[in-house]
Amino acid sequence: MKINYILVELIVYLGLPYVIWTHGRSFIGDYYAMLFSTIPAIVYTIYRFMKDRQFNMIGVFIISSLLLSSLLDLLAGSALQMLWNSVFLSYGFTLIYIFSMIIQKPLAIYLAVEFMYLQGYPREKSKKLYFMKGNVKLFQLVTAIFVVRGLIMNSIMVWLIINHGVDAFMHLIILRKALGFVFSGLIFIGFLFAGNKAMQLIKEQDIGCSKPVETVEAE
């Protein structure tokens, strides 16, 4: 089942865009070929969103990002500008992660809370757990992985666009998917480490006792 899921993703995010881009650009031009090549990923993402019923912060964030990206693509007017818009948008999301770290409310915590909610744990209890003093810095590190991913991927994207122009498009698709797998693994390990450390801290401070546990304001 997992293999089928990976195969479908490879077809949707790599195979179909490659076919549409390489065979369509000579007929409809670079811009429209690039625009149409994004449709399979958009349709599939929305399908997964509806099928998994991800009506939570994670799902809303994904769909909002997708809609904003699609709107910028439609307004781009040219293939090259479409690529630059993608870079600017990616840097924008990276800045959001950085800002969340500066104000001591790392987005990784909210992502962890939503994941725990899908496992059946109430959001408020998870949020109280993860915002305990001592836990926040762990999720700061996880959020930092998102930042590093954004900076590395965006910097490579800029280099490819400057040196290859619109021909960088397929390189960017492959690059995003390859680095996506690598950083997804690092992020998973980071969440696992932070979650385990949080539970250890809970045991050490004995949540069941009467003394209050110091937390960082989450709202």
pTM of the model: 0.74
Q: For residue 213, is it within any domain? A: no
User: What is the pLDDT, as a whole number, of residue 201?
Assistant: 66
For residue 212, being part of any structural domain is answered with: no
Indicate whether 218 belongs to any domain: no
Q: What pLDDT was estimated at residue 58? A: 65
Are the beta carbons of 165 and 80 closer than 8 angstroms?
yes
Structural tokens at position 105: 């409310």
Residue 99 is predicted with a pLDDT of 94
Per-residue pLDDT of the chain (219 residues; tens, 9 = 90+): 555 666 777 788 778 888 888 888 888 888 888 888 888 888 887 787 777 665 556 666 777 777 888 888 888 888 899 899 989 998 999 999 999 999 988 888 888 887 777 667 777 777 777 777 677 888 898 899 999 999 998 999 899 999 988 888 878 878 877 888 888 888 888 888 877 777 776 666 554 444 444 555 555
Looking at residue 13, what DSSP letter applies?
Answer: I
How many structural domains is the chain composed of?
Answer: 1
Q: Domain residues for 118?
A: 2-205
Nearest to residue 39, comparing CAs of 61, 70, 63? 70
Distance CA 126, CA 113 (A): 6
In a domain, 210, yes or no: no
Tokens found for residue 99: 């800002």
Q: Is residue 110 in some structural domain?
A: yes
Report the pLDDT value the prediction gives residue 147, as an integer from 0 to 100.
Answer: 93
Largest CA distance in the chain: 72
Residue 85 domain flag: yes
